[in-house]
Structure 1
Amino acid sequence: MILKASQRGGAKQLGLHLLKTEENEHVEIHDIRGFMANDVIGALREAEAIAKGTKCRQYLFSVSLNPPQNERVHIGTFDSALEAIEEKNGLEGQPRVVVFHEKEGRRHAHAVWSRIDPETMTAKPMSFYKSKLRETSRQLYLENGWQMPRGLIDPKDRDPRNFSLDEWQQAKRFGRNAGELKELIQEAWATSDSARSFSHALEERGLYLARGDSRGHVAVTFEGGVVSISRATGRKSKELQARLGKPDDLRSVEEARKRV
């Protein structure tokens, strides 16, 4: 789910934009929380009125939530995304408005929070919100098994040569964190659609596709460790074979280690 955000003012203009039906077949008000008003424009004008008691001009935090093009996403998934956004950005309990737009059967959402804490009459700081939303977006793709856009991949994870010498030696002695390896394999799966692209995505992360001793698909780390693809991705062997082919066609673990 791609998350795009901005800090802004212009309560009435934003409210009118959220309610436009020219570009959408359906507009549904999903949630209005923390306002006296029970309509979108009234709620956002209320946020504007409260902000006048502060020096904050960009008193609204607006986020669009766009799921993958070919996925039909349940409302509960949107709600989980909203909770994650609030937690990452310190917006828990802040007044908000959530509106769903639907076009050609595809639903996306817009959420707007008031940045003003009515008790302290100060604006919630939104430092590094773009990187926080990027992290939340990546996690949503992994949790839901969606194919991740390449633009969301974290470049620092692509090449084992990016590790410092100390980090590499520590990884060699003790093995890398299991959660880290699992996430890297999940990312490779999310950004690939064939054996070739999956193998390439693994190698960008210092992992090598191979045939395990029990004749299953595995990833060999550059330290020589072996990780089950099925366990890391939560996919059954039938699903793995549909994308990757039979493991019999792959090099063995020992051959992969020699290649490394």
Structure 2
Amino acid sequence: MILKGSERGGAIQMARHLENTLDNEIVTVHQIRGFVSDTVAGALSEAYAISQGTKCRNFIFSLSLSPPETEKVPVGIFEKAVSDIENKLGLAGQPCVIVFHEKEGRRHAHCVWSRIDGNAMKAINISHYKLKLRDISRELYLEHNWQMPQGLMNSEERDPLNYSYEEYQQAKRAKANPKIIKQTFQDCWAVSDNVITFGNALEERGYYLARGDRRGFVAVDWRGEVYAISKWVGVRTKEVQVRLGDPNKLNSIDKTNRKLATKFTAKLRQYAEQEVSRHNDDATAIVKRRQSLTAFHKQKRYELETLQEERRIAETKQRVSKLPKGLKALWFRLTGKYAKIKSQIEKEERNSATRSSNDIQKLIEQQLAERRILQHEIKRERQRHTLAFKKLNRDIGKALNATPDEQEPFNNRENTRNQAHRSARRRTLDYS
């Protein structure tokens, strides 16, 4: 189970993230503990209000718990992991919120604690939490016999194509795969040794070097999206400067965009827009299928929870009827039979709660399996999408660097490509 934690502020932003039903298909509030409010937004607002009595700005500790994609992980494993983590980090007994997110056939959890000790009115110091979380993560993989990622076994073997949330959002705006963008920049970096060769390699793939406002060297694509070189290549800013030299020798972002605009003919722009529009249109069908499946799953869970609640009420009434009343109750108390009946009732209640929990878990696992089948189709389309956009970037890169006469064959083949595509079977892509 991959564990990622951070100290942070921003109660409202955190609540929005936890309750985000746009990027997450199913959101389940599992537990709100130690707060007066029974809503996520209200609980985190309480944490913020209490923090105002201190000088602490990062008043909450946020943790995500992501198990392996194909493993069946009951709620109890998440709960035990949360308990072990808060004990090791010194957060035991602190108010917290636990929320489950389901997306793309995967289920993960978020746990947010208040760092403010209400009695001492000061923030709890959480030292070396990244190392502690790494150790707990390894223990979880070993305990449950899960396949441990190479990067977790040895930090030097981490996937160089891993991307941050900010990089994911930027790739999402560009309607591209963040790993492919990162691979493109790293490939260009690997085959170049100066600013000229690096710039040429990028231009062949539809990216153009420019001088950034803050980051020094950046690249601009034909959409106008700006990419920080050091971030996407995965090297330090100083290393970029050593290889590429002085960024002031390059055009600014605005000037680069204006230069691209002059080369971006109406025909070329139409071609690019058609390619983008084509994939957007293709996405509609599978998005509808995903939404329909999500709605069906939510309905089934609601029906099961309703049925369980009705059964719980009926069984509770039945169990209560077993308790004697009046003088008989007094006699049973004197003889000890009342305690035995009460103990049996409590045992039945626990068994009933366990049965209900197991039924919900079984339904969730079944639905996740169904969602993963659909996700396999989405992944296949993402691959097609990736190849198509890599070719689009290369085509546009070549066209922008070509003379007007050299662009003519490119413009003429557009109709042929459109006709071929319309005759092919079209599926959907989605990076949301």
> What range describes the TM-score normalised by the shorter chain of this pair?
0.5 to 0.7
Q: How many corresponding residue pairs? A: 156
Shift of 1:102: 1.0
CA offsets per residue over residues 48-104 of structure 1, 9 Å max, x none? Answer: 000000000000000000111221211111001101111110110000000000124
**Aligned partner of residue 110 in structure 2, secondary structure:** strand
Give the aligned partner of residue 125 of structure 1.
125
Normalising by structure 2, we get a TM-score of 0.35
Tell which deviates more after alignment, 24-33 or 145-154. Answer: 145-154
CA offsets per residue over residues 139-165 of structure 1, 9 Å max, x none? Answer: 00000100001111257xxxxxxxxxx
Tell which deviates more after alignment, 43-52 or 70-79. Answer: 70-79
Give the aligned partner of residue 9 of structure 1.
9
After TM superposition, the structure 1 = structure 2 runs for residues 75-90 of structure 1, keeping only pairs within 5 Å, are 75-90=75-90
Distance, in Å, in 1 between the alignment partners of 2:102 and 2:154 is 31
Identity percentage of aligned residues: 59
Matched AA of 1:61? F
Aligned residues of 1:72 and 1:106 also touching (Cα < 8 A): no
After TM superposition, the structure 1 = structure 2 runs for residues 133-148 of structure 1, keeping only pairs within 5 Å, are 133-148=133-148
**Aligned partner of residue 80 in structure 1, secondary structure:** helix
Runs of 4+ in 1 over 2 A off after TM superposition: none
What residue ranges of structure 1 are gaps of 5+ in the alignment?
156-260
Matched AA of 1:98? I
Matched AA of 2:128? F
Aligned residues of 1:8 and 1:60 also touching (Cα < 8 A): yes
Give the aligned partner of residue 150 of structure 1.
150
**Which structure has greater helix proportion?**
2
Give the aligned partner of residue 19 of structure 1.
19
Distance, in Å, in 2 between the alignment partners of 1:113 and 1:154 is 29
**Aligned partner of residue 56 in structure 2, secondary structure:** coil
**Aligned partner of residue 146 in structure 1, secondary structure:** coil
Distance, in Å, in 2 between the alignment partners of 1:46 and 1:38 is 11
Aligned residues of 1:29 and 1:100 also touching (Cα < 8 A): yes
Distance, in Å, in 2 between the alignment partners of 1:151 and 1:33 is 34
**Aligned partner of residue 98 in structure 1, secondary structure:** strand
**Aligned partner of residue 28 in structure 1, secondary structure:** strand
After TM superposition, the structure 1 = structure 2 runs for residues 81-230 of structure 1, keeping only pairs within 5 Å, are 81-153=81-153
Aligned residues of 1:72 and 1:107 also touching (Cα < 8 A): no
**Which structure has greater strand proportion?**
1
Give the aligned partner of residue 233 of structure 1.
none
Distance, in Å, in 2 between the alignment partners of 1:72 and 1:101 is 15
**Aligned partner of residue 99 in structure 2, secondary structure:** strand
CA offsets per residue over residues 163-219 of structure 1, 9 Å max, x none? Answer: xxxxxxxxxxxxxxxxxxxxxxxxxxxxxxxxxxxxxxxxxxxxxxxxxxxxxxxxx
**Aligned partner of residue 6 in structure 2, secondary structure:** strand
Distance, in Å, in 2 between the alignment partners of 1:11 and 1:22 is 19
**Aligned partner of residue 139 in structure 2, secondary structure:** helix
Matched AA of 2:134? R
Give the aligned partner of residue 180 of structure 1.
none
Aligned residues of 1:3 and 1:137 also touching (Cα < 8 A): yes
Distance, in Å, in 1 between the alignment partners of 2:128 and 2:154 is 16
Shift of 1:24: 1.5
Across the aligned residues of Structure 1 and Structure 2, the Cα RMSD in angstroms comes to: 1.4
**Aligned partner of residue 36 in structure 1, secondary structure:** coil
The yes-or-no answer on 1:47 pairing with 2:47 is yes
CA offsets per residue over residues 201-239 of structure 1, 9 Å max, x none? Answer: xxxxxxxxxxxxxxxxxxxxxxxxxxxxxxxxxxxxxxx
Q: Which has the larger radius of gyration?
A: 2
What residue ranges of structure 2 are gaps of 5+ in the alignment?
156-432
Normalising by structure 1, we get a TM-score of 0.58
Distance, in Å, in 2 between the alignment partners of 1:68 and 1:54 is 39
Distance, in Å, in 1 between the alignment partners of 2:6 and 2:105 is 26
The yes-or-no answer on 1:30 pairing with 2:35 is no
Distance, in Å, in 1 between the alignment partners of 2:24 and 2:129 is 28
**Aligned partner of residue 79 in structure 1, secondary structure:** helix
Distance, in Å, in 2 between the alignment partners of 1:68 and 1:115 is 29
Distance, in Å, in 2 between the alignment partners of 1:58 and 1:104 is 31
The yes-or-no answer on 1:71 pairing with 2:71 is yes
